[in-house]
Structure 1
Amino acid sequence: MDNRTGRNEYDRHWKRVIHSLFEDFVAFFSPGLYEMIDWDKPPDDLDKEFQRLNPDGKSRDREADGLFKVYLKDGSEQWILVHIEVQGWKDTDFAERMFQYFYRIFDAYDKKIFALVIYTEDYSETYTPPRYEYNFFGTKLSYEYNVYKIAEQDENELLQSTNPFAFVILAAKKALYGKTAAQPTKLELKKQLLRVLAVMKDRLQLDKKDLLTLFIFMDHMIKLESQYQQEFNQEIKNWEGGTMITYEDELKQEARKEGREEGREEGKREGRQEEKIEITRNLIKLGIPLDFIKKATGLSEKKILEIKEGLEKE
């Protein structure tokens, strides 16, 4: 699995857990905002609209993001926007792009915006400041947004939380700790999380849908080699703290669903690549300069030269 494929899979699981537990998500990160929202009106997912607002460049391969429309109890304000970013890689332009997102969203909707960035990696002192500042000969602006750093969270507080989304943060923190750990250590981390989830299930009276959502997120955050995953799968059948629960059928369905999604995405990528190659072939035949072809197709110079060489051999 290359880095982009791995990042896309990582993004997908973050997006899924946020979408599935969105009400708990808002309550966890902004209790004040949660109290203002009219939850009798389902939030609207503006993901497709948000993608059209994306700044150009590296943002296309960025970590998980999302935009939701929520309705408030206060009739004087019909609705606001919740802008979410899950950031897991160092990006010196991140604060600037957060500002770009803000003004594009504000320009498109002219509504109030709650912006939140969740940092999933530990960059210590190299975190991007939670603001974008601009100053040019007396023209100034400063844009600040909410920041949450998973690496800095207290595990005991997460364990005591009555919000199911605390388990998401705990799983992400354990995954960060186990990122460079040996397989036996990763296996033990997953077993610990499974025991925590079993207790949380009873303490918070989680329904099966939410329980499965949390389990799937945790299962994908910490990847195990085959033999260790098999041992973990056996552990699933013997949960501590209560009822025996088996998720094999649900997990098989999930795997099939992911396979279909990945297949569709792979098909789309292959289709776009073939289209770019065909456009490149036509441009080469017309004698278009290489620099123009690079800009028009996004292909590398090496790839374009390979296509040109292939044409010359035909």
Structure 2
Amino acid sequence: MPNDDYDSPWKIALERYFPEFIAFYFPRIHARIDWQAGYEFLDKELQQVVRDADTGRRYVDKLVRVRLLAGGESWVCIHIEVQGDPEDEFTRRMFVYHYRLFDRYGQPLASLAVLADEQPDWRPEGFGYELLGCRMQLTFPVVKLLDMRDDLDQILESDNAFALVTAAHLLTKQTRQNPASRYTAKLRLIRILFQRGWERQRILDLFMVIDWLMHLPPELEKKLGDDILQIEEEHKMPYVSSIERIGIEKGRAQGLSQGQKQGQARMLQKLLAKRFGMLPSWAEQRILSAQPDQLEDWSLRVLDGKSVEDVLVVREEPAKYADD
């Protein structure tokens, strides 16, 4: 079975269907937001605030600005983490991000967590400490996907995009060692896509998320392609053409490559920070804009380099001249 990738599908689904994300996992919060006023992702702002506290493994880390129905003209921020694995430092990181964002924007914000791990007993809900009469406490709303695994049939009756994303995530986890079962589960979800009567772009978006999450061996992937053609004929709706499937596969490959590059960049940042201290902004930008081979070259120089500047210098190949 190919390695599963959870980060990219979650990121795509959340960015494209953020109101449904909130409605599915945090319905009470959804009811308090003025969705007609719109919303804005603050990815660059989040990275600026938390870049030197970047620890742990999570699928999605987002900061979104929304307006509340009862909040007049003022905007508020929501920080969201979709956490993939149990982690001892998770609650501390949520606390650090929260107070840094509070300090930056000078107003209260909400921190929300979706736990996408496989350990039933791991249920972090907050972080705090008390010393000499001084008490600090952060408690945040949490949704545990594992709690929904026995309700898949009921979940799949919902028209919410994240009902399908949640089912795909849980079924991907359940079928990790069973390609035949994954094929059956994936085909079921794709049939549901066609039965919903959704607009074409929504079907393509969620098809990409399902296809990205639920990797299959090549022979079953080919069989699935034939099945999709038959489903399209049954519904007389050619939603996913062969050209679009090629494009989706290309997009998935690019996403995997991008994820590997981000992993290389994070590791290099940590190595440099451990050796030379907090990195200057120019170094952060140079690392984030570098290609994988350049990142690999810089990582090899960390032990021998005398400074950040020495490590991140770009070495050019010597010029080659044709024979006269």
Per the shorter chain, which TM-score range? 0.7 to 0.9
Mapping of 1:88-107 within 5 angstroms? 88-107=84-103
Mapping of 1:1-314 within 5 angstroms? 9-54=5-50, 56=52, 59=55, 61-74=57-70, 76-125=72-121, 127-153=122-148, 154-180=151-177, 182-199=178-195, 201-202=196-197, 206-239=198-231, 242-247=235-240, 248-260=242-254, 266=261, 268-278=291-301, 280-283=303-306
Q: What is the CA distance between 1:262 and its match in structure 2?
A: 5.2
Q: What is the CA distance between 1:252 and its match in structure 2?
A: 2.0
Q: What is the CA distance between 1:254 and its match in structure 2?
A: 3.0
Supply the distance in 1 between the matched residues of 2:142 and 2:67 (Cα, whole angstroms): 23
Contact 1:46 1:69 in 2 (8 A): yes
Q: Say which SS state the counterpart of residue 36 (structure 1) adopts.
A: coil
> Per-residue displacement from partner, 1:188-212 (whole Å, max 9, x unpaired)?
111121222222x22xxx2112111
Q: 1:75 to 1:89 in 2, by over 3 A?
A: closer
Q: How many residues align?
A: 278
Supply the distance in 2 between the matched residues of 1:250 and 1:209 (Cα, whole angstroms): 12
Q: Say which SS state the counterpart of residue 162 (structure 1) adopts.
A: coil
Q: Say which SS state the counterpart of residue 84 (structure 1) adopts.
A: strand
Structure with greater helix percent: 1
Q: Say which SS state the counterpart of residue 237 (structure 1) adopts.
A: helix
Q: What is the CA distance between 1:251 and its match in structure 2?
A: 2.7
Q: What is the CA distance between 1:214 and its match in structure 2?
A: 1.1
Contact 1:79 1:111 in 2 (8 A): no
Supply the distance in 2 between the matched residues of 1:101 and 1:262 (Cα, whole angstroms): 27
Q: Say which SS state the counterpart of residue 135 (structure 2) adopts.
A: strand
Pick which of 245-254 and 188-197 moved more: 245-254
Q: What is the CA distance between 1:258 and its match in structure 2?
A: 4.3
Q: 1:80 to 1:104 in 2, by over 3 A?
A: same
Q: 1:30 to 1:282 in 2, by over 3 A?
A: closer
Q: CA RMSD in A?
A: 3.0
Q: 1:128 to 1:52 in 2, by over 3 A?
A: farther
Q: What amino acid does structure 2 have at the position aligned with 1:170?
A: A
Query: Given the two structures, how large is their TM-score scaled by the length of structure 2?
Result: 0.75
Q: Say which SS state the counterpart of residue 111 (structure 1) adopts.
A: coil
1:307 counterpart residue number: none
Supply the distance in 2 between the matched residues of 1:42 and 1:87 (Cα, whole angstroms): 26
Contact 2:67 2:74 in 1 (8 A): yes
Q: What amino acid does structure 2 have at the position aligned with 1:272?
A: L
Q: What is the CA distance between 1:20 and its match in structure 2?
A: 0.6
Unmatched tracts of structure 1, length 5 or more: 284-292, 298-314
Query: Given the two structures, how large is their TM-score scaled by the length of structure 1?
Result: 0.78
Q: What amino acid does structure 2 have at the position aligned with 1:233?
A: G
Contact 2:58 2:81 in 1 (8 A): no
Supply the distance in 2 between the matched residues of 1:229 and 1:140 (Cα, whole angstroms): 55
Q: 1:74 to 1:93 in 2, by over 3 A?
A: same
Pick which of 30-39 and 133-142 moved more: 30-39
Q: 1:221 to 1:160 in 2, by over 3 A?
A: same
Supply the distance in 2 between the matched residues of 1:186 and 1:260 (Cα, whole angstroms): 23
Q: What amino acid does structure 2 have at the position aligned with 1:104?
A: R
> Per-residue displacement from partner, 1:253-274 (whole Å, max 9, x unpaired)?
2333444555566453432332
Q: Say which SS state the counterpart of residue 53 (structure 1) adopts.
A: helix
Contact 1:55 1:101 in 2 (8 A): no
Supply the distance in 2 between the matched residues of 1:40 and 1:67 (Cα, whole angstroms): 19
By relative contact order (CA 8 Å, sep 6+), the higher-ranking structure is 2
Contact 1:38 1:71 in 2 (8 A): yes
Supply the distance in 2 between the matched residues of 1:114 and 1:217 (Cα, whole angstroms): 27
Supply the distance in 1 between the matched residues of 2:98 and 2:88 (Cα, whole angstroms): 18
